[in-house]
Structure 1
Amino acid sequence: MKFKSGITGLIAGIALSSPVAAQSLQEAVQQTINENPEIQSAKDERLAVEQEIDQARASYFPTVDLAAGYGFEQSNNPSTRARISGTPLFRSNQQQGTVQYGREEASLQIRQMLFDGLATPNEVTRQEARTNAKAYNVFGRSEITALKAVEAYLNVLRREELLKLAQENLVVHARTNDQITLRSEQGIGKRADIEQSTGRLSLAETNVRAEEGNLKDAKTAFLRVVGALPGQLETPADPNTLLPASIDEAIEKAVENHPILKSANADIESAVSQHETARAAYMPRVDFEGGGSYNNNLDGIPGKNEDLTAMLRLRYNLFNGGKDLARRRETAHLIAQSKDIRDNTYRQVVESMRLSWVAHQTVKDQLAFFKNHRDSSIKALEAYQLQFNIGQRTLLDLLDSANEMFIAKSAYTNALYDELFAAYRILASMGGLNQSLGVTLPPETIPLGK
């Protein structure tokens, strides 16, 4: 039969496309963490901000500036005009008092900050807080991306299972169609029964094609997140044993461990340090400055000029138009903004956990009903088949029963994977998904001093 050969080809195609080596969920997520571009971008941002700590610490060290020059100078000033024109080194130009020399100059200046109003230590603290915020961002991005990888992994398994169910449904309808065709050839069946059975068989074939397309889409989504097409995937272990006992405990752990909330707290520390850095403008600055210079034929005066200095210099701005006061007000508002962002993040963390928990409990409570529906539909089809064989059921009853069994099995399969993903979603909402899977996070997720 044409449909039988189609079924054989579909099953053979699926078998040939399945690699031998199996990939676990932990391996897929680890590959994602190691290679996903979004995580790599977050890591680079964290490393870039960390370099600003060294930039801030540079103010603790002295600055050394070297300058040197050699060239030509033409001067006309009171000193040159007061000279006697017969001096050997003096060459008169068209304008009396203009002299020309070869100019040489060199200088070395050293400056060491002794006190800058505590601007440097506060700036270092600010950059350390910013670095920690970015580290928690890498952690949070790793959790989010890991959850996407888990979803892609489970969807491939889900679609493979749904494809098998669609193929089994096709086999059931093909078997029924063969039975109806044989009856018609023997003069027992009706022509209308053949048409009805053939139509249902075509619909079953369409379901198989649709599930094949869905599986390909799921594999493409897997490729986008993980970075490689899936091979043969292992069924993951049940994560329900890792979940908290109650929603209150889950929320407490989420608030305590969620990386995005920790990042928001680090941003507050950064804003406070920035506010303290702005206070430095109200204080004097003290530097030690030393240097030496060598000049020859400078400003129209022939001969060498050498200087050597060592000075303590105090600089204190007394008025700059209210700029420093405005800056302090600005940084105070930035602290308030950081706290507002933290409070909003707290609400989002709590909301995310509650939604994840409710979704998990809802589908978990439904599983028993989906299972009963599936088991009942299987038994009903078996009974309808026997009754159809002895003429107690119509063909329409049999086909409807087969279709209901397919729908019930598909619904139960979807519920199983929905419940599994909801459990992983709870772990991600607590900031513990990668840890529960045994995934090694990049060192950029570790805050300074930890």
Structure 2
Amino acid sequence: NRKESSGTERNVENKVSLSYRITDFGVRGANIRKSEYERDNSKTDYEKTKNIVSQEVVTTYYNISKYREMIDGVNLEKEFYKKMLETFSLLVSSGVAMQSDMRKVQVSIDALNTRSIMYQSMLDDEMYKMQNMTGLNLSPVQIQSDEKFNLFKKYIFVESPEKLMDMVMKYNDDYKMLVNTRKAATEDINAAKSSYFPTVDLVSSYVQNNPSGSAKKSDYEDEFKTGINVSFNIFNGFRNSAQERKMVASYSQAKLQIDDFLIKTRYNIDSQLSRYAAAKETYSVAERSHTNALQLTELYEQEFQLGQKSLLDLISSRNEAFQAYVSMIDSKYSLYILKLQQLSLIFH
């Protein structure tokens, strides 16, 4: 700060002032803590975004693996029917079998081709999705099959609702952000209450005088001052009390959001546990049904060769075995998706 006096006496004044807030009875500390909670929320929200993308990638991976297994099953059936078609072509040529038998086999092959096209289309869609999410231009054979990877066979589904709720409250991103929002609202209330109190500042200043003209040096000594400045609002139009009420309302809203989240989470936990128990039983039944259907088909093949079963009987048994295979694969991946959904519930 430079100041020049008037008249015949001249003086150039250089002034430096420093002020340090000793206390504001908690306002500054509350605002700092609130900012830290908001910063933590930003970090958590970023982690949540990454977790959501990871979930989408894993879901896509499992869809790819599922459709690959479906296509493998179709191809296996097609190989069986192609061999039968070759056999019946020879039998028809020799007059042992009828042309209608060949038609039955061809109809089965056509039905399998239709399924293969459908599964391949679904597989292609998932591959495009994987490419968009990861930026990797892969072919289905480059993605390891779940039969070898066993990603979710190793994950033990948590079947205790109490343990699962504890894990949600410890790891869930949404819950962390809601708690931090409530804590930030608490700091807003603390800051609003502290604003009723005065602020205390340590104020120091140094003045360097440079007299000239007829001014005497002794009249313009350099000065150093230190003091305490106390500021207190006697009346500010009830702004402090209005701000406090506003912050209390924000806190109540944040608390209600936490309560609502916990209620919904308990419902989701109960629903997931119920669906997992049903899916596990369904998979067990489907696996057993597939094993039985394969054994029945083998028996029908033997009886067909002995002339005890018709071609229609054999084809029907193969269709039942294939449907059992499809049901088994569907139920297996339903279990995996439920495990993935549980991880999603725990972490975001």
What is the identity, as a one-letter code, of the residue corresponding to 1:268? R
Q: How does 1:222-233 map to 2 (within 5 A)?
A: 222-228=130-136, 229=138, 231-233=143-145
Which one of the candidate residues 267, 284, 290 is aligned to 1:374? 290
TM-score (norm 2): 0.80
Deviation at 1:236, TM superposition (A): 1.9
1:316-351 CA distances to partner (integer Å, 9 max, x unpaired)?
222222222111110000000110111111123223
Structure 2 residue 201 is the aligned partner of structure 1 residue 287: yes
Which residue number corresponds to residue 174 of structure 2?
Answer: 260
Q: How does 1:283-432 map to 2 (within 5 A)?
A: 283-291=197-205, 310-431=226-347
8 Å Cα contact 2:205/2:224 also seen in 1: yes
Structure 2 vs 1, CA of residues 133 and 254 (structure 1 numbering), >3 Å: closer, same or farther?
A: same
Which residue number corresponds to residue 60 of structure 2?
Answer: 152
Q: How does 1:47-446 map to 2 (within 5 A)?
A: 107-228=15-136, 229=138, 231-233=143-145, 234-236=148-150, 239=153, 242-244=156-158, 246-291=160-205, 310-431=226-347
1:161-191 CA distances to partner (integer Å, 9 max, x unpaired)?
1121111122122222223333222233333
8 Å Cα contact 2:155/2:339 also seen in 1: no
Structure 2 vs 1, CA of residues 349 and 333 (structure 1 numbering), >3 Å: closer, same or farther?
A: same
8 Å Cα contact 1:123/1:277 also seen in 2: yes
TM-score (norm 1): 0.64
Distance 1:252 1:309 in 2: 59
1:203-230 CA distances to partner (integer Å, 9 max, x unpaired)?
2122222222222223333334455346
| Structure 2 unaligned spans of 5+ | 211-219
Corresponding residue SS for 1:317: coil
1:276-308 CA distances to partner (integer Å, 9 max, x unpaired)?
112233122222333456899xxxxxxxx9986
Between 1:420-429 and 1:281-290, the stretch displaced more is 420-429
Distance 1:171 1:396 in 2: 18
Between 1:253-262 and 1:266-275, the stretch displaced more is 253-262
Distance 1:362 1:244 in 2: 15
Distance 2:18 2:76 in 1: 84
Structure 2 vs 1, CA of residues 239 and 428 (structure 1 numbering), >3 Å: closer, same or farther?
A: farther
8 Å Cα contact 2:159/2:273 also seen in 1: no
Distance 2:129 2:274 in 1: 26
8 Å Cα contact 1:289/1:312 also seen in 2: yes
Structure 2 vs 1, CA of residues 294 and 256 (structure 1 numbering), >3 Å: closer, same or farther?
A: closer
1:70-110 CA distances to partner (integer Å, 9 max, x unpaired)?
xxxxxxxxx99xx9xxx9xxxxxxxxxxxxxxxx9865332
Corresponding residue SS for 1:109: strand
What is the identity, as a one-letter code, of the residue corresponding to 1:421? I
Between 1:235-244 and 1:176-185, the stretch displaced more is 235-244
8 Å Cα contact 1:255/1:349 also seen in 2: no
Distance 2:93 2:2 in 1: 109
Structure 2 vs 1, CA of residues 215 and 350 (structure 1 numbering), >3 Å: closer, same or farther?
A: same
What is the identity, as a one-letter code, of the residue corresponding to 1:266? N
Distance 2:326 2:151 in 1: 21
Corresponding residue SS for 1:232: coil
Distance 1:105 1:177 in 2: 110
What is the identity, as a one-letter code, of the residue corresponding to 1:400? S
Distance 2:51 2:96 in 1: 63
Size of the alignment, in residue pairs?
335
Structure 2 vs 1, CA of residues 226 and 394 (structure 1 numbering), >3 Å: closer, same or farther?
A: same
| Structure 1 unaligned spans of 5+ | 1-66, 70-78, 88-103, 297-304, 434-450
Structure 2 vs 1, CA of residues 316 and 168 (structure 1 numbering), >3 Å: closer, same or farther?
A: same
What CA RMSD, in Å, does the superposition of the two structures yield over aligned residues?
Answer: 3.6
8 Å Cα contact 1:363/1:418 also seen in 2: yes
